[in-house]
Amino acid sequence: MKGSGDEAPCESSTAEDQARAGVKKLENKGDQGAVKHLLDELVADVVTSECEYPEDFTASNVRILLSFAACVAAPASHFLPPYLEREGITLLSTDEKTSKNLIVLACVLFYAVSFLALLAFQYLHEKEAILFTKQKKGVSSSSGLRVSTRMERFDDVYKITIVERKSARGTTNSDPMTLERSITKWIDEDGVVAEKLVSKDVKRFVKAFEKSVHKAKKR
């Protein structure tokens, strides 16, 4: 008869084997944020790697730029006034003290504008999107895809929505399509993700969307 001390190494070995094999496993299936984040990564990888849609980094670059601009404002408000004071440079006012206060105020306003611009960009443009792609060669779509995902709180249903991105004329030729799956179909009771099944379902979904776009263009 084996004691509990004999079982622990086996469990540890299994976890190590899974890690070496590249198996994705959730430590806590009840952490909805972690579940969604992991599935988002898998979905994005399938669309770009297996469905061969080149990723468009424009949105992420804009977000990084706005974040950087907001971050620069904080050290600027701290270090710029003393530097200008040392160099005897006055900006915005001939009075040194007034100039210092105005520079700090300008930095605060710049931070506020950059931060609000970032929030507006995320709310109005990105929303729930996890991926923007460019046009794929050989498909009817004249533009790329916008892939969004959603999981309601305390719900096990993971939703993927694909819509054709608007063309340069600001139009789109198809309606959005949504795939719904219970996470229990993709993640087992031990937290191991069935990556092949996720890939199969997502590829089938993308193919169905491509067919709907092709039919819409024929009308």
pLDDT tens figures, 69-96: 989 988 888 887 777 777 666 665 566 6
Write the pLDDT tens digit of every residue in 162-192.
Answer: 999 876 555 566 789 999 999 999 999 888 9
* 153: pLDDT strictly greater than 80: yes
Instruction: With a cut of 50, say whether residue 7 has pLDDT above it.
Output: no
Question: Would you state the structure tokens that stand for residue 154, as one six-digit string?
Answer: 């305390």
**HSE-CB of 119 using CA atoms within 13 angstroms:** 6
Nearest to 35 by CA among 159, 213, 173: 159
CATH topology of domain 27-56+133-218: Double Stranded RNA Binding Domain (3.30.160)
Amino acid code (one letter) for 187: I
- Identify the three-state secondary structure at position 23: coil
Using the predicted structure, report yes or no on whether residue 14 has a pLDDT greater than 70: no
Average pLDDT over residues 13-37: 71
Q: Is 127 left (phi over 0), alpha (psi -120 to 50) or beta?
A: left
Cβ–Cβ contacts within 10 Å for residue 195, how many? 15
Q: Tell the burial category of 72 from Cβ atoms under 10 Å away from its Cβ (0-12, 13-18, 19+).
A: middle
Instruction: Calculate mean pLDDT across residues 24-49.
Output: 91
